[in-house]
Amino acid sequence: MNKKDLAFLKELTEAPSPSGFEVPAATVFRTRIQAVANKVETNVLGSVHATLLGKGAGPSLMITGHLDEIGLMVTYISDEGFISFQAIGGVDAAILPGMRVNICPTGEDAKPGQVLRGVMGRKPIHLIEQDDRKVVTKIDQLFIDVGMEGKKLKKLVRIGDAITFGVGFEELGDGFAVARAFDDKLGVWVAARVLEEIKKAGGAAGDVIAAGTVQEEIGIRGGTTSAYGINPDIGISVEVGHATDYPDINKRKHGQYECGKGPLIARGPNINPVLFERMVAAAKKTRTAYQIAPESRATGTDANAIQLARGGKVAGLISVPIRYMHTPNEVVKLSDLDATVKILTRFILDLDEKVDFVPR
C-alpha cells in the first residue's frame, strides 16, 4: 500500500463517527472521491453516494462500506464533573474500564472540531469486593472523568454528545495495522479505491456507485435507504470479517480464516450464486488469494438490505478479515485490503450488458 492510500486509511479511521454522527468520516470520504466521481451526493440520512458513469449499457453496481463505528453517548453530567453514558452499537462493557476516550463536545463553549479527552473511571481492584471482581462491571456503573469541575464541563458537553475510543491508527509488525473502527472504515476505503481503479481502467460498462452508508451498527439503516434510493442492479457490501487465526478460537464452530490470505467471499442465501461464482473467477483471474465464508442465513450487513430492496437485488458480500472486532484495537493485514480492491475491480470490469444473474 502506498503512502497516499495509507494516509487516507489513517484519516478515515481517526475521524470520529459513531452511528448518527458520521459527518467527519463522510467529509474525509467525499474529499477523497470528488475528483474521481462524475457526481457526489449526500442523502438526508448522511450516506454519501459517489457515481462514476458507465461507458455502455452494462448493469449499474453499488459498492457499500459503512461510515459509522460503535461508540458511546453522553446521558448525564454530575455537578462534580463526571459523565455517565450509554452504548451506541455493540460495545463490550468488559473492555471499557481504564480506557481513554474522546468526547466530541457541542456545548455553548465548545469549539468546532474540538476533542475532549477523558478516562473511563471505576473503583480500583483494591476497593472492589472479592465476588464483584469476577463479573463484568456494567456500563451504568462506569463513568468518564475529564479532570474538570461540573459547571465548566456542562458548558462544553451536552447531553447526547458522541464519544469514541481514544486511540489512533498505527502500523504494526510486518505489514499489519491496528486502529479502532476498521469496522467498517476498511469497507469505505475499499469502495473509494475501487472507484479510482475503475476510472483508471477507462470506466465500466455500467454506472459504478461507491456508497459510504450510515447507521449500519444500529440496524443497517443507511444500507437500506441507499439500496432503495439508488436502485442499482447489483449491490456489494464490503465489510470486515472475523479472522480466526489467534488463540482460543474454535475453528470447527467459526471456520478457519487468516489475515494475509485474502478477503472472505461470502456464499449462502444472502448472496446471489452467480455473483459468488463470478467473484471467485475474478480472484482466480487476477491470481489473488481469497477465502470462502459460508453464511447460512441473513448476514447482518448492508448485503442483507440490498438483497431485499424493492423487488430484490443481486447482492454480494466481500469482507476483509480482522482480529478483535468491536474493540479499540482491531488488527488487519494491509495486503488483504489491496487484494480486495483487486478482486472487486476485476469483477466489475468483467461485467457487460449480457450478464445474467438469474439462478438457473
Q: Which residues does the annotation mark as catalytic?
A: 216
Per-residue CA distances from 49 to 43, 45, 194 (Å) = 8, 12, 14
DSSP 147: S
- Cβ-based burial of 286 (10 A; exposed 0-12, middle 13-18, buried ≥19): middle
Do 279 and 323 touch, CB atoms closer than 8 A? no
What is the per-residue DSSP string for 333-352? EHHHHHHHHHHHHHHHHT--
Those residues whose C-beta lies under 8 Å from the C-beta of residue 38, and which sit 6 or more positions away, are 51, 52, 53
For residues 240 and 26, give the distance between their C-alpha atoms in angstroms, rounded to a whole number. 19
**How far is CA 323 from its chain centroid?**
14
Three cell numbers, residue 321: 478479515
